[in-house]
Chains A and B, each alone.
Chain A
């Protein structure tokens, strides 16, 4: 790594003489700005979570209520129901997107002629804003002539009379499908890059050994792209866990509470019902859950990093 013109010894000395505060001077503006942008709202929410405050009744909190907002959130499965929907959406969504994405990545990795064009086009759903994907799928799901109900009925699959988004048995899966459509290409493209980085000689050796394709995938390819896979799973898992703009457009949490995710529940309590206290209490409950999951992921994904 050393250039011939720069001997090793003086370089070390230069390093040692560099003042310690310089890197912190460079990093701190961003950290201070971000801390301010996060700490203010979170502390504000923490305070509000102990007050009764409904914006429809007054512009300021109406009184200290202790843990009542937290109790209210936990009553009748209001919070837990939303948490369950969120977990279902997140776990199934990440698993389906990863599996489909990996299959597409393996197909692309055959590098047949013209597949580069297909790869460049395939990422397009991922580039679209989730809220716009919501518009697209509201059109596609429309019970009065949308493409998806039409396709399903023409192959003999019955559609609920209220439409796929209007029935509480199908709505969450319809939301999930829109998300799978948008993010499967993300997994496909990133895992494809991971597969390409596997050294050729390893694959060549496996081929000479006549390793069966599934064993090749499971014992050789997947372990070699583990790090990449863990990173994409982590990013997507958290985005799915935070899902809310897709719900705003597609279902508004309905019908009933069948698609009420954690994110949408906070939003609804605060911006639709104007119950700032309740919304703030749930904000803190969500923040704690999210932090715990991020902590776990980061621990496993970045344990031996840097």
Chain B
């Protein structure tokens, strides 16, 4: 197609790409700059593009006193915990839904999908009250557990699409040799779909990492995650934009790196495996 395109049309296409990158990446760069900007230039009009970078905001938020450092750690605990807890539930389910043509299979899949589209906010107040009444409020476990309403349905969908790609013949040969279902699932299929499980887990990690609703009502001062911790900078005595930017950029980086690393699976991850990119 390349050669048949006329030059002006090509120039126009590239110009559009530049505009798109400015619009969609520009604001992110602008926010990253805010993290290293001298406070005086944060709101100067016209905008100041060049300045002497300052590391004060980074030092304050992550080193001394470093209020956001434990929150970064909390975010990692909650997101990683949510992924690890989800695997023993979602992998067998994904395997069964891929391999067995049981009645109601479609309805179960659609039920999981429905959960992914349910409003998290509808559950927040009950979770908050119920968690306090059983003494779980403020614990990592409460957040990790509630996150399962997202990670399990997501992982079942995405993992199933990977298991579907493993040829079933190998399993049938093993079955003829007398292997049990558990053995087939764990010794044959699991190793074969390991890449798919890693991809699923990484997207599920992003999913839980970016979830703000559950920590908003379940976390306490000590267990709060990075985005919710950042919300506290909008408090009483003026908004400290430098600190917000540093903490927010720190919260942005892991999902961005994961998406760049998983580039060829991004479409599949974003559509829960229903569109193969």
In this complex, the member of B99, B185, B277 whose beta carbon has the largest number of chain A beta carbons within 10 angstroms is B277
Chain A residues near B210 (CB-CB < 8 A): 128-130, 132
Q: Evaluate contact between B256 and A127: CB separation under 8 angstroms.
A: yes
Q: Evaluate contact between A45 and B125: CB separation under 8 angstroms.
A: yes
Cβ 8 A contact of B176, one of A6, A283, A302: A6
- Within the complex, the shortest CB–CB distance from B199 to chain A, in Å, comes to 15
| Interface check B275, CB cutoff 8 A | yes
| Interface check B44, CB cutoff 8 A | yes
Q: Within A133-178, which residues are at the interface with B (CB < 8 Å)?
A: 135-140, 142, 144-147, 150, 154
What is the size, in residues, of chain A's interface with B at 8 Å between Cβ atoms? 104
| Interface check B235, CB cutoff 8 A | no
Comparing A65-73, A91-99, A118-126, A216-224, the segment that makes contact with chain B is: A118-126
Cβ 8 A contact of B93, one of A26, A48, A127, A245: A26
Given A127-B259, A279-B125, A6:B212 Cβ within 8 A: no
Comparing B11-19, B50-58, B190-198, the segment that makes contact with chain A is: B11-19
| Interface check A234, CB cutoff 8 A | yes
Q: Evaluate contact between A193 and B17: CB separation under 8 angstroms.
A: no
When C-beta atoms are compared, the residue in chain B nearest to A119 turns out to be B263
- Within the complex, the shortest CB–CB distance from A150 to chain B, in Å, comes to 5
When C-beta atoms are compared, the residue in chain B nearest to A267 turns out to be B121
Q: Evaluate contact between B244 and A263: CB separation under 8 angstroms.
A: no
Q: Evaluate contact between A129 and B209: CB separation under 8 angstroms.
A: yes
Q: Evaluate contact between A244 and B248: CB separation under 8 angstroms.
A: no
A 31-60 to B, binary, CB cutoff 8 A, 1 in contact else 0: 101100110111011001000000000000
Chain A residues near B220 (CB-CB < 8 A): none
Q: Within A250-306, which residues are at the interface with B (CB < 8 Å)?
A: 262-264, 266-267, 270-271, 276, 279-280, 283, 286-287, 290-291, 294, 298, 302, 305-306
Q: How far apart sit A42 and B148, CA to CA, in the bound complex (Å)? A: 16
When C-beta atoms are compared, the residue in chain A nearest to B185 turns out to be A26
Q: Evaluate contact between B105 and A306: CB separation under 8 angstroms.
A: yes
When C-beta atoms are compared, the residue in chain B nearest to A14 turns out to be B175
| Interface check A231, CB cutoff 8 A | yes
Q: How far apart sit A159 and B246, CA to CA, in the bound complex (Å)? A: 29
Chain B residues near A190 (CB-CB < 8 A): 267, 270-271, 275, 277
Q: How far apart sit A136 and B29, CA to CA, in the bound complex (Å)? A: 10
Q: How far apart sit A194 and B175, CA to CA, in the bound complex (Å)? A: 38
Q: Evaluate contact between B152 and A34: CB separation under 8 angstroms.
A: yes
Q: Evaluate contact between B213 and A41: CB separation under 8 angstroms.
A: no
Q: Evaluate contact between B263 and A235: CB separation under 8 angstroms.
A: no
Cβ 8 A contact of A271, one of B124, B175, B227, B266: B124
Cβ 8 A contact of A266, one of B125, B145, B172, B209: B125
Q: Evaluate contact between A286 and B122: CB separation under 8 angstroms.
A: yes
| Interface check A181, CB cutoff 8 A | yes
Inter-chain contact total with CB atoms closer than 8 Å: 287
B 118-159 to A, binary, CB cutoff 8 A, 1 in contact else 0: 111111111111100000000000000110110011001000
Q: Evaluate contact between B125 and A124: CB separation under 8 angstroms.
A: no
Q: Evaluate contact between B271 and A235: CB separation under 8 angstroms.
A: yes
| Interface check B31, CB cutoff 8 A | yes
Q: How far apart sit A136 and B234, CA to CA, in the bound complex (Å)? A: 13
Chain B residues near A85 (CB-CB < 8 A): none
- Within the complex, the shortest CB–CB distance from A123 to chain B, in Å, comes to 6
- Within the complex, the shortest CB–CB distance from A29 to chain B, in Å, comes to 5
Q: Within B208-233, which residues are at the interface with A (CB < 8 Å)?
A: 209-213, 216-217, 227-228, 230-231
- Within the complex, the shortest CB–CB distance from B277 to chain A, in Å, comes to 4
Interface size bracket, B side: 35 or more
| Interface check B188, CB cutoff 8 A | no
Q: Evaluate contact between B266 and A123: CB separation under 8 angstroms.
A: yes
| Interface check A22, CB cutoff 8 A | yes
Q: How far apart sit A271 and B259, CA to CA, in the bound complex (Å)? A: 34
Chain B residues near A5 (CB-CB < 8 A): 173
Chain A residues near B34 (CB-CB < 8 A): 139
Q: How far apart sit A146 and B46, CA to CA, in the bound complex (Å)? A: 10
Cβ 8 A contact of A41, one of B1, B130, B206, B245: B130
Interface pairs (22), CB distance under 8 Å = A18-B181, A26-B185, A33-B148, A34-B149, A41-B122, A42-B122, A45-B122, A112-B5, A118-B17, A127-B256, A127-B258, A132-B248, A135-B244, A139-B34, A185-B24, A189-B270, A190-B271, A231-B275, A290-B122, A298-B113, A302-B106, A306-B105
For the complex of A and B, list the 7 residue pairs with the smallest distance between their C-beta atoms, beginning with the closest: A145-B43, A41-B126, A129-B210, A270-B125, A26-B96, A238-B117, A23-B100
Interface residues of A (CB under 8 A from B): 1-3, 5-6, 10-11, 14, 18, 20, 22-24, 26-27, 29-31, 33-34, 37-38, 40-42, 44-45, 48, 104, 107, 110-115, 118, 120-132, 135-140, 142, 144-147, 150, 154, 181, 184-186, 189-190, 193-194, 228, 231-232, 234-235, 238-239, 241-242, 244-245, 248-249, 262-264, 266-267, 270-271, 276, 279-280, 283, 286-287, 290-291, 294, 298, 302, 305-306
Q: A44-B126, A131-B231, A242-B121 are in contact. List 17 more A-B contacts (CB 8 A).
A: A14-B175, A29-B88, A29-B93, A30-B156, A31-B108, A38-B115, A38-B149, A40-B130, A41-B126, A112-B2, A129-B211, A135-B31, A138-B234, A154-B46, A244-B120, A248-B216, A270-B125
